[in-house]
Structure 1
Amino acid sequence: MSAPVLVNAVAPVTRRVRAYFAPVNRATGTPAVFDAAQSGSFALNAAPAPWIDLGWCTGFARKSATKIEALRTGAPAVVQTQVRSEIEATVSLAFESWGKLQMALAAGSQQMNLLATANGAIANGSGGIAAAPVPLAAGSTATSLNVGAATAGFNVGDLVAVDLDYTGQVGFVGSGVSGAYVASAVAVNDDINYVRRVSLNVSRVTAIANGALQLSAALPAGAPATGMQVSRLAGFVDREGGSWFQEWSALFVMQGEQGDRVIYHYPRLQPMQSAAESAEVLAGTLEQIRLTGAFRALPVKDANDGETVVCFRSYLPAAMRSV
């Protein structure tokens, strides 16, 4: 029986970068953890929970700003060792598609929902006073919202936000993903719809039957909790300014053409710029507008040795490649 033949190792050859993000628990400061030893070979179109596939991205660039200093002793001074005096890293990219989560990541601050307004509402840049929300009945799931006779107020194609009422709570708000930080009820006008206004728990209605709204994709927060209500929305809005910073865990995957894979895991990323876009000429006067994001990596402790790190780079060699 002949021995298996190894192929010489080569540099990875890749076409594009796939981006996946997962929410950080802002209340506890706990990021999403990715273990490449356990899940590194996942199918690109079926990321493991809680990672959300945000599609392909372009212009992916990583930059290290970590500073290494030499320690010198004696006369004349001689380098004896080195230390890291500062740890910092940034990453930037452009998303290939626009969606709620892509806009939230590129916005930098709150990414708000343009809730359907009440009759006679005074115009406002991020949306006027919202119409009354619709309560959910028992049996609602992450993909089906039971609203009974209230289906008459919805149409196939509607965008909806599903979340709790604002009842004076302070701190991080938003189910599944923290969408904002509320300092006081006065700051948000004690608005019952404020949580739904900043919620990332949104989807689109694709069918209406038997008193239920069927959704195009599962709500990020899963099955609605008791007390949640649903509001229609026209779209999304973000703002230049504000005090809130989004924070997410991120995976960037480069799939090699020869079967290998490079994975960059950033446990904590915060935006380092406000909402921005880039234009790419398609043909003639047609331009494609892409959302661009730039992020600063924040530190975590590696459970294996307690080291402070901001990124994990994993390489999964192709089968039968020399190492």
Structure 2
Amino acid sequence: MSTSVVTNYSALPTMYRRVRAYFAPVNRVQQVPSTFDPSQMGQFSLDSPPEPWIDLGWTENFARKSTGSISALNVGVPSVAQYQVREATGATVSFRFKVWNKLTMALSAGSQHMNLIQPASGSAANGSGAKGVAAVSVQAGSSATNIALNTTDIGPFSAGCLVTVDVDYAGQAGFVGSGVSAAYVRNSVAINNDPDYIRRVSFNVARVAQVTSGGLQLAQPLLAGTPLSGMKVQPIVGFVDREGGTFFQEWSAVFVLPGEQGERVIFHYPRLQAMQGSEESADAVAAPLERAALNANFRALPVTDSNDGELTVCFRSFIPGSATLI
């Protein structure tokens, strides 16, 4: 019996064109981030990330920085460095999102990111959106891509519109939002006991592809999956964030550098929070046309590695190409 011989080559310097970003929710209630295991997931298709990771496309100006510090422990006279101690562990990461959407806006802004609910007739104007039209109940038989509605409730919706799908606010305190911890409610008075508040901040949004006699066909699946009993739906017209506030978004992130020899460098940050407010930058395309990008700057927060109990803020992995020496 014989096998084919594989010719291996010395690895060349890793060269890459762009960095691709993937984000996933952190369970803020249980304080559990999304885990990326490079031994199991390292070779995933860049266009089809494993659940729960969300593809946010290619980034620009990607830069990582360690903010940790290591100091010498000096002993004797004269003083001589005998040991080293790690005094601090930390990291930051920055880049630009090329595309504007619900998630890229929320990640780069840091604070609550709200949906602009279609305003009710005669509602008072407000900087983060007026009071919305009445929400309608999602019916049994719905899925992540199909919202079943009573025939009498279909009126406010049309093909191409945007919708938010979530439960009513019912007086609870703490993190709220289905699929993603979208905001933290201190008490019901702070949000005027608004039943629409959770839908206002929810990440469970989608565009409607088609309106049928039975409900809404969505152009993309809802982030929280199949709607739960008690959820309602409202039309929205866009998104808004604010400079200020007390809430910080927190997400898990994976950044992939695909090398030209088939290798792959992967950075996994289990917990990231934005470390600045909303900021954009413009690139000239052809006068007077400019392209607006979202600037994102994050601080990495710690997790404990279950393999050895060590505290860390980032995992860096390297998957060699299939025909290079290691």
Fold shared by both chains (TM-score > 0.5) = yes
For 2:14, the equivalent position in structure 1 comes to 12
Q: 2:192 aligns with which of 189, 194, 208?
A: 189
Alignment pair present for 1:158 and 2:161: yes
Shift of 1:258: 1.2
Give the aligned residue type for 2:110.
Answer: G
- How far does the alpha carbon of each residue in 1:192-230 deviate from its partner, in whole angstroms, 9 at most, with x for none? 000000001000001111321011110000000010000
Q: 1:314 aligns with which of 300, 314, 317?
A: 317
For 1:29, the equivalent position in structure 2 comes to 31
For 2:277, the equivalent position in structure 1 comes to 274
Alignment of 1:244-323 (within 5 A): 244-323=247-326
Shift of 1:74: 0.7
For 1:56, the equivalent position in structure 2 comes to 58
Q: Secondary structure at the match of 1:153?
A: coil
For 2:97, the equivalent position in structure 1 comes to 95
For 1:201, the equivalent position in structure 2 comes to 204
For 2:218, the equivalent position in structure 1 comes to 215
Alignment pair present for 1:231 and 2:234: yes
Alignment of 1:159-174 (within 5 A): 159-174=162-177
Give the aligned residue type for 2:98.
Answer: E
Shift of 1:147: 1.2
Q: Secondary structure at the match of 1:14?
A: coil
For 2:144, the equivalent position in structure 1 comes to 142
- How far does the alpha carbon of each residue in 1:6-63 deviate from its partner, in whole angstroms, 9 at most, with x for none? 2001221111111000000000110001100011000000000010001111010001
Query: Matched residues in 2 for 1:5 and 1:193: separation?
Result: 63
Alpha carbons 2:262, 2:321 under 8 Å: kept: yes
Query: Matched residues in 1 for 2:67 and 2:129: separation?
Result: 40
For 1:113, the equivalent position in structure 2 comes to 115
Q: State TM-score, norm by structure 1.
A: 0.98
Q: 2:243 aligns with which of 240, 243, 251?
A: 240
Shift of 1:5: 2.4
Q: Secondary structure at the match of 2:40?
A: helix
Q: Give me the identity figure in percent.
A: 54
Shift of 1:156: 0.6
**Root mean square deviation of aligned Cα:** 0.9
Shift of 1:171: 0.1
Q: Secondary structure at the match of 1:21?
A: strand
Shift of 1:3: 4.6
Q: Secondary structure at the match of 1:319?
A: coil
- How far does the alpha carbon of each residue in 1:63-93 deviate from its partner, in whole angstroms, 9 at most, with x for none? 1111000000111101001011011100001
Aligned length: 323
Give the aligned residue type for 2:257.
Answer: M
Tell me whether 174-183 or 210-219 shows the greater mean CA deviation.
210-219
Q: State TM-score, norm by structure 2.
A: 0.98
Query: Matched residues in 1 for 2:54 and 2:96: separation?
Result: 17
Q: 2:128 aligns with which of 126, 129, 138?
A: 126
Tell me whether 54-63 or 205-214 shows the greater mean CA deviation.
205-214
Query: Matched residues in 2 for 1:11 and 1:180: separation?
Result: 44
Q: Secondary structure at the match of 1:11?
A: coil
- How far does the alpha carbon of each residue in 1:270-323 deviate from its partner, in whole angstroms, 9 at most, with x for none? 000011111011001111001111000001111111111100000000012111
Shift of 1:117: 1.3
In the alignment, structure 1 segments of 5+ residues that lack a partner are none
Alpha carbons 2:156, 2:235 under 8 Å: kept: no
In the alignment, structure 2 segments of 5+ residues that lack a partner are none
Aligned structure 1 segments of 4 or more residues deviating by more than 6 angstroms: none
Shift of 1:152: 2.2
